[in-house]
Structure 1
Amino acid sequence: MSGLTDQNLPPEGDDEDVAEDWESMLDSEGGEGGGDGDGEDDDLAAEWETMMDGDDDDGGGGETTRVLNQDEIDSLLGFDDDGDDMGEQSGIQAILNSAMVSYERLPMLEVVFDRLVRMMSTSLRNFTSDNVEVSLDNILSLRFGDYLNSIPLPAMLGVFKAEEWDNYGLLTIDSALIYSIVDVLLGGRRGTAAMRIEGRPYTTIERNLVERMIHVVLDDLSAAFDPLSPVAFRFDRLETNPRFATISRPSNAAICAKLRIDMEDRGGRLELLIPYATLEPVRELLLQMFMGEKFGRDSIWETHLAQELWLTDIDLGAVLDQQTLSLQDILALKVGDRLMLNATPDSRVALRCGDIELFKGKMGRRNGQIAIRIDEKAKPRDRAQG
């Protein structure tokens, strides 16, 4: 057995060769594996570095501040001049003017201005002997100081007074309407635009013609308010400088109605400004939803109240006589003193409810008790004196 075993075993040199082969194989595999691991680690490190760089870039972008341009600043502050409508405001100005009363809360004003437009169309046609069309552009609420600053010059400003309301209003006629009225009234040819001359003051003739037109407009304005509340608008003065036409504090709220007057190819704008302080005496009437607004009657409650009134208990007193005494005499009265009345058994007795005299009669006896026989009703004059 030992011989067989010794014969089957490999020689010692072969074992050393096999060991060297295994060692070389392990070294080669370890080298290849180590190289791959280092590459993967490098890739992971590169990915992490890229991600961190991205996070740093995002953080840096969040820290940078964005600068607003001029248009965005104007829109924020409410000074955007893209639109001509002064009623649409945004930004800080909208917040400041949020407490201002809107004309929409005074529904009857729109009815009054509609009547004014219809009446002015007829009156100005008779005034100019021309085809005149009057239209209402818009109605807006604004502060008086803002309106003065927005008036395009040159223009004429007519100051008028509401006599019954004891306050003032303002009528503004722009340059285009002034020259159109002057051209029409002085016989200008139709189909030609009115000549507009800038850089000079208005002449006396132009002022007088415009003043005549203002009187026509104020008469129509009085007639437009007449169904609501009778009022007379009296022309006060004509100004060309807005600062001389100051009729209210700059911060006071006012309502402005912008009218457009067209005479074929000529025309212009007329603006009517009325402070809210002027409209205060008729504020309750302007709050109505329609002319002559009243609440409906409730016949059921009327019948019920009438029935209950007939069942009301009242105190009725019989007055024999009245005397006027001084406070000194009243304080001097004692138990046992006598008061002499200016009354006899045949004197008339007044029956009163409180201080109101209702009936008159004579005093007598019936069934052992004092009774009064009513002779007549008290006259209204006696009731008032009672």
Structure 2
Amino acid sequence: MSGEAGEGENQEDLAAAWGAALDQEQGGKGAEGEAPTSGEATRVLNQAEIDSLLGFDAGPSRESAMSGIERIISSGLVAYERLPMLEIVFDRLVRLMTTTLRNFTSDNVEISIDVMASQRFGDYLNSIPLPAMLAVFRAEQWDNYGLIVVDSALIYSVVDVLLGGRRGTAAMRIEGRPYTTIERTLVERLIGVVLGDLKAAFEPLCEVDFRFDRLEVNPRFAAISRLSNAAVVSRMRIEMEDRGGRLEVLLPYATLEPVRELLLQQFMGERFGRDSIWETHLAEELRQTDVALDVVLDQQVMPLSQVLGLRVGDRILLSTPPGAPVSLRCGDVALFEAELGRRESRLAVRIDKVRPVPPTPTEDAA
């Protein structure tokens, strides 16, 4: 028993020495900057790290940006339907603004759309780079609001151009102060030009008037929709030689709801389930079609046996007196009332009255 106890002590001593050597080797590799070993890869997370991963760190020192699973859930925007006609409207807006801003600034202006996407309204407000000016406008016919955001670079560029700044020099920027009355007034004039072009861009689709409501510098005061509601954002880049900036137009889906069916069209003037060209062609061909009209002189009811007994040479006496009105029919539909007469050696009718065409069953259901 004593021999076995000695062997056990020797094995424990060897295991302890082997573990100490491994610890020294791992420590040396960590100091030399080599890759971590398998012992470090299996490290267990503590409670603070787990709370941070799950987004449960709700203490007063928590950052405004969410993390972990909470961030994944909140950023999962629903895939809203695309509005093909809205893309055409914004392309038309870019062409119109290129001309009007050239006249407005008396400078060479180039405008391009960077991106057009769907985004939650709350996420968009949090992503606005400050300082900026937020113009709230109202769509009169749609009874709702939209938003135009002008960044600081474009603000100072427009102010510099309108006040006679030299070409080829970058606009002066003075950060850390509120915008002056002159700057706000000039930006309001720019917003008025953009709203006029936006109205003209929508004219081929529908008639809508955009009215400037107010100008804000704090995104919290420009809340025109619920933070969780979706909106369409079009980001445009405006270049004036060496100056320029970004202008963004935001339209909530609630604002576009009255014209949603029009914006779902694939091209301008599309009719759902109908083809106007084919309808016109069909109508023209129908007008050239020969139609047989039957003159009904009299109607009589007789038993089937009498009808079957009719032979060649039998006579049927008509009870319609001379000069009585007769009916002109196309199939089973009575179209006209006419007077029977004679022209040379042939019977003829003169139309005196047009009968109203009875509605079809589909029209009754409608």
Query: Residue 146 of structure 2 corresponds to which residue in structure 1?
Result: 169
Summarize deviations over 1:237-276 as a string: whole Å, max 9, x none: 2233333333222222111111121222222221101111
2:174 corresponds to which letter in structure 1? R
Is residue 176 of structure 2 the alignment partner of residue 198 of structure 1? yes
Query: Residue 213 of structure 1 corresponds to which residue in structure 2?
Result: 190
Deviation at 1:78, TM superposition (A): 6.6
Structure 2 Cα separation of the partners of residues 243 and 69 of structure 1: 30
Query: Residue 86 of structure 2 corresponds to which residue in structure 1?
Result: 109
Deviation at 1:63, TM superposition (A): 11
| SS in structure 1 at match of 2:356 | helix
Q: How does 1:266-277 map to 2 (within 5 A)?
A: 266-277=243-254
8 Å Cα contact 1:359-1:377 kept in structure 2: yes
Q: How does 1:27-176 map to 2 (within 5 A)?
A: 64=44, 67=49, 76-77=68-69, 79=71, 91-95=72-76, 97-98=77-78, 100-102=79-81, 105-176=82-153
Bigger mean CA deviation after superposition, 223-232 or 129-138: 223-232
CA distance 1:377–1:162, change in 2 (3 Å): farther
Structure 1 Cα separation of the partners of residues 164 and 110 of structure 2: 19
Structure 2 Cα separation of the partners of residues 224 and 298 of structure 1: 28
Query: Residue 29 of structure 1 corresponds to which residue in structure 2?
Result: none
Structure 1: which 5+ residue stretches go unaligned?
Answer: 1-37, 51-57, 80-90, 319-344, 364-372
Summarize deviations over 1:157-179 as a string: whole Å, max 9, x none: 22222233232211111222112
Structure 2 Cα separation of the partners of residues 213 and 123 of structure 1: 10
CA distance 1:122–1:93, change in 2 (3 Å): same
Structure 2 Cα separation of the partners of residues 152 and 131 of structure 1: 26
Query: Residue 287 of structure 1 corresponds to which residue in structure 2?
Result: 264
8 Å Cα contact 2:339-2:351 kept in structure 1: no
Query: Residue 351 of structure 2 corresponds to which residue in structure 1?
Result: 376
Structure ID, larger Rg: 1
Structure 1 Cα separation of the partners of residues 44 and 223 of structure 2: 50
Deviation at 1:130, TM superposition (A): 1.5
Structure 2 Cα separation of the partners of residues 175 and 259 of structure 1: 14
8 Å Cα contact 2:132-2:149 kept in structure 1: yes
Structure 2 Cα separation of the partners of residues 143 and 214 of structure 1: 23
1:268 corresponds to which letter in structure 2? G
Structure 1 Cα separation of the partners of residues 126 and 45 of structure 2: 36
CA-based RMSD of the aligned residues comes to 4.7
Q: How does 1:175-324 map to 2 (within 5 A)?
A: 175-190=152-167, 191-200=169-178, 202-293=179-270
Q: Please identify which structure carries the higher helix content.
A: 1
| SS in structure 1 at match of 2:199 | helix
Structure 2 Cα separation of the partners of residues 123 and 236 of structure 1: 21
Deviation at 1:186, TM superposition (A): 0.6
Deviation at 1:153, TM superposition (A): 3.0
Structure 2 Cα separation of the partners of residues 180 and 275 of structure 1: 28
Identity %: 56
| SS in structure 1 at match of 2:185 | helix
8 Å Cα contact 1:176-1:196 kept in structure 2: no
Structure 1 Cα separation of the partners of residues 51 and 211 of structure 2: 50
| SS in structure 2 at match of 1:255 | strand
| SS in structure 2 at match of 1:179 | helix
8 Å Cα contact 1:142-1:256 kept in structure 2: yes
Q: What TM-score does the superposition give when structure 2 sets the normalisation length?
A: 0.60
2:353 corresponds to which letter in structure 1? A
CA distance 1:63–1:271, change in 2 (3 Å): closer
Runs of 4+ in 1 over 4 A off after TM superposition: 61-75, 294-299, 345-353
Q: What TM-score does the superposition give when structure 1 sets the normalisation length?
A: 0.57
Deviation at 1:278, TM superposition (A): 1.6
8 Å Cα contact 1:169-1:274 kept in structure 2: yes
